[in-house]
Chains A and B, each alone.
Chain A
Amino acid sequence: MTETGAAPVARDSSRTVAAGLLAWVWPGLGHLYLGRRGKGLVLMASILALFGLGVSMDSRLQLHLGLEDPLALLFSLAQMGVGAPYVLARLLGFEAGTVTSPVYEYGNTFTAVGGLLNILVILDALDTARGVRGK
């Protein structure tokens, strides 16, 4: 590649990385950064609603990184997919959840699915930044 082509490639690469990181830090932010305002706002509202409702339904947010319980590890990784809202909820004291609550399992499902959907949103932001997806 010639020197004239190297700069745009580096710029595109940093734009892609920035979009991916922003999409992970806050749902929808990667799309907003790429100028996809409507799409970003809809994704942000939907995923934050899922996660917020899950937290309000007494979901457990405890971090579990050990391999002795692989399902708990996967569950934690899924929840962490939502990014900063996960950290924020933990800092606000919602990490323990209430296992005796009748909606505890619903809450867990909402928070984990919110995180998993945000992983799809991150991948979409990366594809959009690379020009693989148009809209």
Chain B
Amino acid sequence: MHSHLVTLVVFSALVSTVFATLLRDTLRERLRFGLLAFAAFVLSTFLIGWLTNPFPR
């Protein structure tokens, strides 16, 4: 797995799945929470990457 994007997506999906399974009790709540957590992981990574772009070192 040498693609940064694929690594980010896989990591976010797996961690979101664990959080959703642990923190919510019904399937509907888990799906909703898992999707929100996944989106938060991916979007925050892009945001931080964009903000730190002027500082490569």
- Decide if the interface of chain A is mainly helix, strand, loop or mixed: helix
Using A53-B1, A103-B2, A134-B25 as known contacts, say yes or no to A42 and B10 having CB atoms under 8 A apart: no
Task: Mark contacts of B15-43 with chain A using CB atoms, 8 A cut-off: 1 yes-contact digit, 0 otherwise.
Answer: 10110011001100000000000000000
Residue A120 interfacial (CB < 8 Å): yes
Residue B11 interfacial (CB < 8 Å): yes
Q: A57: which B residues are within 8 A, CB to CB? A: 1
Residue A75 interfacial (CB < 8 Å): no
Q: How many Å from the CB of B51 to the closest CB on chain A?
A: 20
Q: A46: which B residues are within 8 A, CB to CB? A: 14-15, 17-18, 21
- Total number of B residues with any Cβ neighbor in A under 8 Å: 13
Contact of A113 among B7, B15, B17, B26 (CB under 8 A): B15
- Total number of A residues with any Cβ neighbor in B under 8 Å: 22
Q: How many Å from the CB of A23 to the closest CB on chain B?
A: 12
Q: A110: which B residues are within 8 A, CB to CB? A: 11
* Chain B residue with Cβ nearest A106: B7
Q: How many Å from the CB of B18 to the closest CB on chain A?
A: 5
Contact of A109 among B2, B11, B18, B25 (CB under 8 A): B11
List 8 A-B pairs, minimum CB-CB distance, nearest first.
Answer: A135-B25, A46-B17, A46-B14, A117-B18, A46-B18, A50-B14, A42-B21, A124-B22
